[in-house]
Structure 1
Amino acid sequence: MKNITRLTLLIVSLLLIYSCSKSDKSTPKTEPILPTLSIIDVTQARDNKLTTSFRFFINVSSASTQNITFNYTTVGGTAISNNDFTAQSGVVTITAGQTVGYIDVPIRGDSLRQADQYFYVQISSPANATISGTGKAIGTIQNKGNYLPIDNTGYTTPLSYPGYTLVWNDEFEGATLDSKIWNYEVGGGGWGNQELEYYTSSTNNSYLTNGCLVIEARKETIGTNNYTSARLTTQNKKEFTYGRIDIRAKLPVAKGMWPALWMLGSNISMVNWPKCGETDIMELIGSNPKQVIGSVHWAQNDGSSGTINNGYSLSSGDFSDKFHVFSLIWKQNNIQMLVDDQVYMTAKNTDITNGSWPFNSPSFFIFNVAVGGQWPGNPDSSTIFPQRMLVDYVRVFQ
């Protein structure tokens, strides 16, 4: 009888153990799924003077029943900590039920003309959440300042000449270009030379700083054009016949650059080019940085363009090193071009045997920097943008 009782107890015990084991296997414990944190990049323009703020948002993938915390710190890139932005670090708490947090980084004002800059914000060590990816966001500072430090060394010319009177000048001393004098020509399309730029009226491409006009070619896309620049004229505003013209400028010399200071006949809208006449006071091809070309163009009898030109080469350095003065001495039936008061090109009406001399009528100014085209060729990997032409003054004496 005792043996039967012991056997019965053993069987019951085994059944209980088996039952408990089976129950444990059918209800495994599961860990809660934590929400994920994602920090968002910021791109924003800085103010020229005032300190502003970049706000980096941190998105939470789903609301949590607990507070979420994480550490953060700023990391310098091309933007320098405590120079371009104020360094930040600390702990952020996103309260239970919320799905967004943020980090503010002060951006210091700066009017310097410079390339856009970047820095990072890094988040780490989350509690009650995980971090998506590297946990690093990029802050891109868009620099819109117009201040350029300018080395003003180079050749200069006087404000008066014997027998001449200064009848008009622009010294570019104001804050903005004078719209009573200057026009913006806007557009792409190659400009008859297969050029690559789109000309704009934006202060990205033309502005005044430190007493100079700056025409800036940039590598940026508008439509089908991968470069931007500016082309300024005085058409219908300032037009002249004869006199001495002085233009003091410093030139871009990289591959594919084509800066020009030139004039077109004011009757172009009636007779078209080249019958109106074109006077190129200065052109430079960036791949030949030591030489400028002076030219005149007119219509030959068959309507094609006739040309007289000559070049002026520096004995040392190039035309980007310092300022030079490009001059035109324009008389009836006679044109001379000069660099730093040295005559290097002369054209007379008697030089034209095919066509007629169009240069006894009013002309207007054009200042531009072209990119690419039939003559200069295209920029290559050696061409660093932006490229700038600086014009210190233009003066007309009669």
Structure 2
Amino acid sequence: MNRRTRLALALALGGLLCGCASAPDTRPSPVTEEPFWQAEFDGAADTRPSEESWNTEVGNRDAEGWGNNELQYYTDDVANSALDGAGHLSISARPAPTDSGLPCYTQEFCTWTSARLTTEGKVALTHGRAEIRAKLPTGTGLLPAIWMLGDNGVEWPGQGEIDICEVVGGEPRTVYGTAHGPTYFNENGIGGSTTLPADASQAFHTYAVDKQPRRVTWSVDGKPYFTLTPSELPAPRDWVFEQDMHLLLNVAVGGDWPGPPDASTPSPATMTVDYVRFYGTGRK
């Protein structure tokens, strides 16, 4: 996922397309049922979330900087991802110890550690609502993300990707939502953005996508700001979202879009997740 020019792209598309979200047929469906799967993150502090639902990915160099020349080495250490004992999951990016020797793609050693949790192979949404209440870290060089990848077994970008929300570096109040597919990926990803009343790190917000047949709508705190349908795609309009898609939560540091961290970057930089809920149909 190369996000080098996502900023300019999302600003342009947000201004062009977000108005469609106010039309009656593009509003998110109201949530009237119980979630078919949820993670509430109850448990003792410094314990891991349930392995029945969550995987923890590790590394950097072999993953080619996670596709974006990122500086963090993802670990399975509780210092980087654990329950906080108060009903939350914490995902924290921290400077790596100087003698850690963690191999990095863009330099000899990674200077930060962080975590990347996924539900791949365990939980997926087919149609319905993915809803995540979270507080996201902000600061130079940070890129926290809540997103989904397709389970169709195809190599990315044919796999399909829905970025539920991203908050980049020096734009602490801007939330980006983007879709990637076979003919619209990297700088050609299609998305929109919305502005929060304060920095994303100051309060919890509910980030969601409503994934319905041939329509995906992004919202924050129940307010839609962008809708994508096949008509918005470039020819041949490769719509790859009628499939199971699993969830990913991570805090990236550095890389193509946010740029490098500096002395002002908070440490630890923590994503605090209150809950994850899937409504509709899917797999668990």
Q: 1:199 aligns with which of 74, 87, 90?
A: 74
Alignment-derived partner of residue 180 in structure 2: 297
SS in 1 for 2:36: strand
How much is the aligned-residue C-alpha RMSD, in angstroms?
1.6
Q: 1:344 aligns with which of 216, 222, 225?
A: 225
Give the AA of the match of 2:89: L
Specify which structure has the higher proportion of strand: 1
> What's the TM-score once normalised by structure 2's chain length?
0.79
Give the AA of the match of 1:216: S
Distance between the aligned counterparts of 1:276 and 1:216, measured in 2? Answer: 28
| 1:298–1:305 contact (8 Å) kept in structure 2 | no
Residue 125 (structure 2) pairs with residue 240 (structure 1): yes
Spell out, residue by residue over 1:225-249, the C-alpha distance to the aligned partner (whole angstroms, 9 max, x if none): 0100000000000012010121000
Alignment-derived partner of residue 56 in structure 2: 184
Spell out, residue by residue over 1:174-233, the C-alpha distance to the aligned partner (whole angstroms, 9 max, x if none): 233101110011001211100000000110100001100000000014231010000000
Spell out, residue by residue over 1:358-392, the C-alpha distance to the aligned partner (whole angstroms, 9 max, x if none): 00011000000000000000101111311100000
Q: 2:191 aligns with which of 284, 309, 314?
A: 309
Taking a change above 3 Å as real, the CA distance of residues 305 and 377 of structure 1, as seen in their structure-2 partners, is closer
Give the AA of the match of 1:171: E
Alignment-derived partner of residue 276 in structure 2: 394
Q: State the 1:286 CA deviation.
A: 2.1
Q: Based on CA coordinates, which of the two structures has the bigger radius of gyration?
A: 1
Q: State the 1:323 CA deviation.
A: 0.3
- More contact order relative to length (CA 8 Å, sep ≥ 6): 2
Distance between the aligned counterparts of 2:213 and 2:110, measured in 1? Answer: 41
SS in 1 for 2:192: strand
Report matched runs for 1:205-224 at 5 Å.
205-209=80-84, 210-220=86-96, 221=100, 222-223=102-103, 224=109
> What's the TM-score once normalised by structure 1's chain length?
0.57
| 2:180–2:186 contact (8 Å) kept in structure 1 | no
Flag structure 2 segments of 5+ consecutive residues without an equivalent.
1-29, 104-108
SS in 2 for 1:364: strand
Distance between the aligned counterparts of 1:378 and 1:305, measured in 2? Answer: 19
SS in 1 for 2:70: coil
Give the AA of the match of 1:161: V
Q: State the 1:282 CA deviation.
A: 0.5
Alignment-derived partner of residue 161 in structure 1: 31
SS in 2 for 1:218: strand
Alignment-derived partner of residue 4 in structure 1: none
Distance between the aligned counterparts of 2:270 and 2:187, measured in 1? Answer: 30
Give the AA of the match of 1:232: L
Residue 246 (structure 2) pairs with residue 364 (structure 1): yes
Distance between the aligned counterparts of 1:271 and 1:182, measured in 2? Answer: 21
Distance between the aligned counterparts of 2:246 and 2:266, measured in 1? Answer: 32
Flag structure 1 segments of 5+ consecutive residues without an equivalent.
1-159
Percent sequence identity over aligned pairs:
41
Give the AA of the match of 1:193: N
| 2:118–2:246 contact (8 Å) kept in structure 1 | yes
Alignment-derived partner of residue 171 in structure 2: 288
Alignment-derived partner of residue 39 in structure 2: 170
Report matched runs for 1:321-336 at 5 Å.
321-336=202-217
